[in-house]
Amino acid sequence: MEQEYASTLLENAVSELSRLPGIGRKTALRLALHILRQEERMGVSLGEAIIKLRQGVKYCKTCHNISETDKCPICANPARDASMVCVVESVKDVMSFENTRQYMGLYHVLGGVISPMDGVGPDQLEIDSLVERIKNNEVKEVILALSATMEGETTNFYIYRKLGGLPVKITQLARGVSVGNEIEYTDEVTLGRSLLNRTLFSDSFNNV
């Protein structure tokens, strides 16, 4: 049943909010009524933050991470190792890797993975710019860090072919049992890969 709202402003806010992922009309209404109950300043600053976010954020011309300048803080940092480029799907993945604090190289944000089902082809992704970047720079290693899905693997392979012939080492993230996971609940493909790529037990001490 279509809910009737007492105000078109409320109705409008609810339909805008319910376009966000994971937010249905009920949650959107709850959020809108919450905004109404707060001080005016708070609602206005939320709205302004969203507008400024959408209008103000730029993308790094080199790695396509979000940035407020032409060159993002990571690309601009001389302490980072410019000989390594980690290829990721999204801005969020950059944050995930940064949170590990174990990577000091640069990134390249593709903006997604090749997915014919969703109408995403190689042309919509930052693959050509990656190839140009590798050609023109002294990058020694490209780490493919895409999702371990069909689409991710396809994209990995596509990039691998595109970079073929360039004097660059192409690696990908290790596949194996996730830390904390039980063998019983790990799928057999992962188990197979983890057997095949088993590592020396003594190496696990050295990494700690």
Measured over the CA atoms of residue 82, residue 85, residue 91 and residue 96, the dihedral's sign is negative
Residue with tokens 């959408």: 54
Q: Which of 24, 36, 132, 166 binds its own copies (CB under 8 A)?
A: 36
Does residue 67 touch its own copies according to CB under 8 A?
Answer: yes
From the list 65-73, 153-161, 181-189, 196-204, the region that binds its own copies by CB under 8 A is 65-73
* Residue 103 interacts with its own copies (CB under 8 A): yes or no: no
The window from 63-71, 156-164, 177-185, 197-205 that contacts its own copies (CB under 8 A) reads 63-71
Q: For tokens 């790990």, name the residue.
A: 186
Residue 39's SS3 state is coil
Which amino acid, one-letter code, is at 126?
E
Return the amino acid letter for 9.
L
- Please select the residue that binds its own copies; options are 54, 102, 164, 180, rule is CB under 8 A: 54
Residue with tokens 């001080």: 39
When the beta carbons of 36 and 148 are compared against its own copies, the nearer one is: 36
Location of structure tokens 């390249």: 108
Q: Does 99 bind its own copies (CB under 8 A)?
A: yes
CB-based contact 124:102 (threshold 8 Å): no
Q: Confirm or reject binding of residue 150 to its own copies (CB under 8 A).
A: no
Instruction: Report residue 39 CA to chain centroid gap.
Output: 35
- Footprint of its own copies on this chain (CB under 8 A)? 1, 3-10, 12-13, 16-17, 19-23, 27, 29-36, 38, 40, 42-57, 65-68, 72-74, 90-92, 94-95, 98-99
